[in-house]
A and B are shown apart, each in its own frame.
Chain A
Amino acid sequence: MRRLLWPAVVLVLLLALNVFFTPSFFSIQVTEGHLYGSLIDILRFGAPLILVSLGMTLVIATGGIDLSVGSVVAISGALACLQISEDASLFTAVAAALGLCLVLGAWNGFLVATVGIQPIIATLVLMVAGRGLAQLITGGQIITVNSPAYKLIGGGYWLTVPFGIFIVVAVLAITAFLTRRLALGMLIESVGGNAEASRLAGIRARGIVIMVYAFAALCAGVAGLMISSNVSSADGNNAGLWIELDAILAVVIGGTSLSGGRFSLGGTVLGALIIQTLTTTIYSIGVPPETTLLFKALVVTAVCLIQSPSFRAKAFRRRGKVPSAGPAAEEKVQVTA
């Protein structure tokens, strides 16, 4: 749990910064029959990113990476909205969209595990082609739908709480159960550590890799439904644009190593929340749009530095208070744990 300390500190600092600029930041009221407040916004708009990041976490844990999730987000929303606009039932639309996402994810996994293409290249194919596919589905237009049931997924409320939050909690709980209560998590880490050795030890490495890519695409598909449902429209060009990069960032901030072999679901959720809080902060404190990216970069750099054991060791050593090897050694123990 110490591993989550620094991301948590950063998140608290960001929230504190917001309170400084907007004193009512933490206030949550009930407006129009649902909860209303900045914190709710962070959860609501952060929900798709959390989902995509969860999928990404498992992919990265196997030593891979999935650049195609942004395109999958667009495809999922486009297909669902197209179906609904053609008077298909909500269930058909959602099932068709998620089914297609599973196929696309399995395709990624097939390219990586069976054909043996580098993950960054294999998924780049779908990243580029997928956006074309999404535009093909929407015919280059923005499809607007008017379906209260579909609206619920990403823009609606259940028991005054945004429905998307329930979806995230459910996916997180299922993922945590499968990976941390069952052996699956260990198998994934094992494949990420050394796929060939895992195979020799009797683990079906290929199957695991295909599964995690399919899972990542499924998560992206659900996120795509949320994003398009939130605005009741599908935009093949812009939905989920660059979300893959935010997701990778969230995973890394959360302490999952890009080289694979270990992962932290809790860390990923914290990472995604930090990114969303940062975005909300930029809007609330009024950072000019021209400098937004610079501001984000500075915060992310600070987060990465503060998380680096060797950087902390050096920074603290300069003050001459803490034994230099201390934090680094502790961190290593946790890696193997």
Chain B
Amino acid sequence: MLKRISALVIAGLTALSVSACGGGSGSGGGGGDDAITMGFSQVGAESGWRTANTKSVQDSAKNAGITLKFSDAQQKQENQIKAIRSFIQQKVDVIAFSPVVESGWDTVLKEAKDAKIPVILTDRAVDSKDTTLYKTFLGSDFIEEGKKAGQWLVEEYKDSTDPVNIVELQGTTGSAPANDRKAGFQEIIGADSKFKIIASQTGDFTRAKGKEVMEAFLKSNPDIDVLYAHNDDMGLGAIEAIEGAGKVPGKDIKIITVDAVKDGMQALADGKINYIVECSPLLGPQLMDLAKKVVKGEQVPARVVTEETTFTQEQAKDALSSRQY
């Protein structure tokens, strides 16, 4: 099962450099124990989300007193393999990395295992039959994100018996976040027949496509109550389309999105979006906690979901000023 989830996550994430999501904002671990050296191999600087992810790892390593050897793979697997080999040679205490692609890791991970260096996967998983090659996988649960979106909607319309017409802007077709956010959302709202998804198309996680698809939705479906967008960017594009149609986003059409990047939070605070489910890149603190545990030889769960929250319009106003990405 873990393997299947991992495969799904990876398949999507490769296609998804821009808008996906991953980590969580956890509590920082305190220093104090023997100095740990961590080798971390990042995918590359592909998006704002990824940049925030890198910064989180670097900052929390500093806070946790862990010496970080950071390597940027520039989206190339061979760079990442080279980096991991050099980490092994330098005899670091723990290796963490976000795999660029899902397959082809067995050899190098075996080398790490033989050198008795524990490996933690962050944000993306690998597709390997041998799950002993890594200690744990730290990343987001996209299905849970979809469920949170659905739960808000159910709560919002709990007093109403009228049908609720929903349009959905999906992420890149076939990507794990798109599949899972759709499935999770569907699972929750499917319990009540008043919720109807009247149109669902892919917006490729981009603002431009989100706007274009929403324009078409508005014309072919005159009666839209709710928009569910799989990321903030598509939602932001759709907001422009809705305004162009003479409707008020957030009032005439309620909008739920996922990610909580700064632009999205701004729109939420402005009342144009109603609810955002966070998909946080800030998994650094959790990663450092896990690293300390595996170095000590403590047991850690094979799958750790990053700590994530949700934002209403009121919460967005408070959180906006401290938003890092």
Interface residues of A (CB under 8 A from B): 21-22, 24-25, 31-32, 34, 36-38, 41, 45, 135, 139-142, 144, 155, 227, 230-233, 235, 237-239, 279-280, 282-286, 288-290, 292
With contact pairs A142-B233, A231-B237, A289-B170 given, residues A238 and B213 touching in the complex (Cβ less than 8 Å): no
Instruction: Say which residue of B17, B200, B205, B216 sits within 8 Å of A284 (CB atoms).
Output: B216
Instruction: List A contacts of B199 (CB < 8 A).
Output: 283, 286
Name which of B45-53, B123-131, B132-140 contacts chain A: B45-53
Decide if B220 touches A238 in the complex (CB within 8 Å). no
Decide if A283 touches B220 in the complex (CB within 8 Å). yes
Q: Give Cα A290–Cα B246 distance, bound, in whole angstroms.
A: 31
Instruction: Say which residue of B50, B173, B213 sits within 8 Å of A283 (CB atoms).
Output: B213
Interface bits B219-246 vs A (CB < 8 Å: 1, else 0): 1100000000000010011001001111
Decide if B237 touches A140 in the complex (CB within 8 Å). no
Decide if A41 touches B219 in the complex (CB within 8 Å). yes
Decide if B173 touches A289 in the complex (CB within 8 Å). yes
With contact pairs A37-B219, A284-B219, A292-B202 given, residues A237 and B47 touching in the complex (Cβ less than 8 Å): yes
Q: Give Cα A45–Cα B212 distance, bound, in whole angstroms.
A: 7
Interface residues of B (CB under 8 A from A): 17-18, 45-48, 50-51, 170, 173-174, 199-202, 204-208, 211-213, 215-217, 219-220, 233, 236-237, 240, 243-246, 263
Instruction: List A contacts of B215 (CB < 8 A).
Output: 41, 45
A295 to chain B, nearest CB (A): 12
Instruction: Say which residue of A22, A32, A286 sits within 8 Å of B244 (CB atoms).
Output: A32
Instruction: List A contacts of B50 (CB < 8 A).
Output: 140
Q: Give Cα A141–Cα B216 distance, bound, in whole angstroms.
A: 28
Instruction: List A contacts of B200 (CB < 8 A).
Output: 288-289
Return the chain B residue nearest A25 by Cβ.
B219
With contact pairs A141-B51, A142-B233 given, residues A155 and B219 touching in the complex (Cβ less than 8 Å): no
Q: Give Cα A283–Cα B205 distance, bound, in whole angstroms.
A: 16
Instruction: List A contacts of B48 (CB < 8 A).
Output: 140-142
A277 to chain B, nearest CB (A): 11
Decide if B46 touches A280 in the complex (CB within 8 Å). no
Name which of B208, B233, B240, B243 has the most chain A CB atoms within 10 A of its CB: B208
Decide if B173 touches A230 in the complex (CB within 8 Å). no
Decide if A233 touches B240 in the complex (CB within 8 Å). no
A130 to chain B, nearest CB (A): 16
24 contacts between A and B (CB under 8 A): A22-B219, A25-B219, A31-B245, A36-B245, A37-B219, A135-B45, A140-B45, A140-B48, A140-B50, A140-B51, A141-B51, A230-B208, A232-B240, A233-B207, A235-B206, A237-B18, A238-B18, A238-B205, A238-B206, A238-B208, A239-B208, A285-B220, A286-B199, A289-B200
Q: Give Cα A282–Cα B246 distance, bound, in whole angstroms.
A: 24
Q: Give Cα A280–Cα B17 distance, bound, in whole angstroms.
A: 26
